[in-house]
Amino acid sequence: MMCSSLGKEKEIIASELARKVQQLNGMEELLADLKAQNEILLAKVQACASEHKERRSAGETQGNAALQERNKELSEQLLKSLDGYRSLKRKYRDVQEENNGLHNTIAEIEGQVKVQLESIWELKARMNEQTVNHEEEISAIEHALEDLTFKTSQHREKKDCSRP
């Protein structure tokens, strides 16, 4: 029964990892969109600048202030987009680090579960022996499984605290 609950914990952690991967893919798409938007804004700024040069060379000074205002607006949009890109990049790195930590924890828990399963199998094999103190071995296995439950609950609490 305890082993099945560990299997469920492993499935929960695996589903969380899959969710994190989907989030990372979404962020990558957002980053690509922001890069494309930045390129479009840069092209618009360059087009406005070249248009401004053409008007200035032609002697047209009307609308000069409007072009300068438009250039300023586009520059501000570009800066906002760059800030958003940097923010998403930081979030992406944070999620990657969290994902790596979860992978490491899962690997550690899997190893500990395997050790405990082997202990259970060995205990079953020796159940007929009268000289073995079964209570001590069962207590040791119970303690190890409680440690695993504690570790998984810590990760669950971290996940719950990180959600807004």
Low-confidence ranges of the chain (pLDDT < 50): none
Kindly list the distances between the CA atom of residue 64 and the CA atoms of 30, 43, 46, in Å, as whole numbers in the listed order.
35, 19, 15
- Of 19, 64, 22, 71, which Cα lies nearest the Cα of 42? 71
Q: What is the CA radius of gyration of the chain?
A: 30
pLDDT at 29: 93
Give the integer Cα–Cα distance in Å for 38 and 82: 8
Would you say the pTM of this structure is higher than 0.75?
no
Asked whether 48 and 74 are in contact (CB, 8 A), the reply is yes
For 21-59, the pLDDT digits (tens) are 999 999 999 999 999 999 999 999 999 888 877 776 665
